[in-house]
A = this chain, B = another copy of it.
Amino acid sequence: MTPSKSSKAPFTFLASAFLGKKNFAPMKRAHLFVVGVYLLSSCRAEKGLNFPTYDGKDRVVSLTEKNFKQVLKKYDLLCLYYHEPLSSDKVLQKQFQLKEIVLELVAQVLEHKDIGFVMVDAKKEAKLAKKLGFDEEGSLYVLKGDRTIEFDGEFAADVLVEFLLDLIEDPVEIINSKLEVQAFERIEDHIKLIGYFKSEESEHYKAFEEAAEHFQPYIKFFATFDKGVAKKLSLKMNEVDFYEPFMDEPIAIPDKPYTEEELVEFVKEHQRPTLRRLRPEDMFETWEDDLNGIHIVAFAERSDPDGYEFLEILKQVARDNTDNPDLSIVWIDPDDFPLLVAYWEKTFKIDLFKPQIGVVNVTDADSVWMEIPDDDDLPTAEELEDWIEDVLSGKINTEDDDDDDEEDEDDDSDDDRPDEEDDDDSDDDDE
């Protein structure tokens, strides 16, 4: 009666699609993947958790000047992959096909959500691309109404699906009750705004809503029409408060009521926080927004007591230094990036089982890390601030240690007694 185990642990959606692909012959898109469909339906377990597999249908179309208007009209949201002209280089061909497949998978999963998926060839459709304002080949853009949103996160099916689902939600979330205020207050690791307006019909609310669309889904906008909620959040009528991540107190945007443009400008000016979390949906954008070629990076696993403690100390430092425009610490929770943990440990030569803070040069990934001898004895906020000051003044930097790097690395392997470890087998006297 036990159901076959092989169906209980299906592969991710992404993986399943490759299963059916015998061939990566370029541009032969149709029906290459059909075999994949039958794979996971061959044996069944209890129902309700079936990961979808790609059904082989072509949903991603090539956009041309000719079909552009028709396609655009058909969907609420249009997702465009603006790609380099097809190359004769096999590596580039495969890279292209893989992106195509990821998009096909996402298109299938979101089929009933009224989202179109297209490819735009940078050479063949240069005129169209120019009209659309596309400038970076290899980018993924989304058209929503008259807005163009660039996706700059991990190019993985699950991340993309969540990004698109967030984009088709209402741009402003309404807060109605005390419990919802509590939910609002709990959000601390990204920028949020909240405004108090008379009603949905208010012109000031409409300006707020339009402004929200400029930042959806990266920055969350909330509003309330409820006097009690407004009082609890100390909001005056038509006022909008801006919350920097990890700060308790918001900034009331000055000179209410505001136009859409004023709100957009304010957010853009305050968009780089003192402490920010690296998120899969915009990780590359965050990483590119370095300060003078470096990032101060802190690793802390929030679900771990040491990591939590370290993050609390970081927050303290961020609060004390929120007015310093030269400071923006990137917090990475390793739990968000399991596949990068080993890469980071190797690249940065650190142990990610405990909290870490360091400076990373984004050009060559060279880095230097604060010495934290024991995770039971984390640095205090003051010690962290001193260290950060040394980083910002250049006293601590990634170049100084480069000369004696090789010496350092050999310190542990004092090879006077070679092969000694192999003799240790005498301990294994289990039987």
Q: List residues of chain A with CB under 8 Å of any chain B CB.
A: 2, 4-16, 18-24, 35, 38-40, 42, 45-52, 73, 84, 90-92, 94-95, 98-99, 101-102, 109-113, 136-140, 151-159, 161-162, 165, 169, 173-177, 179-180, 182-184, 186-187, 222, 283-284, 287-288, 290, 295, 297, 303-309, 312, 335, 338-343, 345-347, 353, 360, 362-365, 376, 428
Contacts and interface: CB of A to CB of B under 8 A. Distances in A.
Contacts of A21: 18
Given A18-B21, A48-B295, A284-B9, A179 B309 contact: yes
A22 B24 CA distance: 6
22 contacts: A4-B138, A7-B138, A8-B288, A9-B152, A12-B339, A19-B98, A39-B91, A39-B94, A39-B95, A46-B287, A48-B287, A49-B284, A50-B347, A51-B343, A109-B339, A112-B342, A158-B339, A177-B309, A179-B308, A180-B309, A183-B307, A184-B305
Given A183-B305, A340-B51, A95 B19 contact: yes
Nearest to A140: B9
A54 to B, nearest CB: 11
**Shortest 5 CB-CB distances between A and B: which pairs?**
A183-B308, A5-B138, A6-B138, A47-B365, A18-B18
Given A18-B21, A177-B309, A346-B112, A8 B152 contact: yes
Nearest to A335: B162
Contact of A156 (B15, B35, B52, B162): B15
A339 B161 contact: yes
Contacts of A152: 8-9
Given A19-B24, A35-B90, A40-B95, 16 more contacts: A8-B152, A9-B155, A11-B155, A15-B15, A15-B18, A20-B94, A38-B91, A39-B91, A42-B92, A48-B297, A50-B343, A52-B339, A161-B339, A161-B341, A179-B305, A183-B308
A303 to B, nearest CB: 7
Given A39-B91, A179-B308, A157 B339 contact: yes
A180 B14 contact: no
A120 to B, nearest CB: 13
B162 A338 contact: yes
Contacts of A341: 109, 161, 165
A16 to B, nearest CB: 8
A117 B336 CA distance: 24
A13 B343 CA distance: 12
A407 to B, nearest CB: 22
Contacts of A50: 343, 347
A2 B136 contact: yes
Contacts of A287: 46, 48-49
A187 B303 contact: yes
Residue in A50, A175, A222, A345 whose Cβ sees the most chain B Cβ within 10 Å: A50
Contacts of A94: 19-20, 35, 39
A9, A18, A95, A140 — most chain B CB neighbours (10 Å): A9
Contacts of A312: 179, 182
A94 B376 CA distance: 48
A374 to B, nearest CB: 10
A91 B161 CA distance: 28
Contacts of A184: 305
Given A287-B49, A362-B46, A308 B182 contact: yes
Contacts of A165: 338, 341
B154 A9 contact: yes
Contacts of A138: 4-9
A342 B52 contact: yes
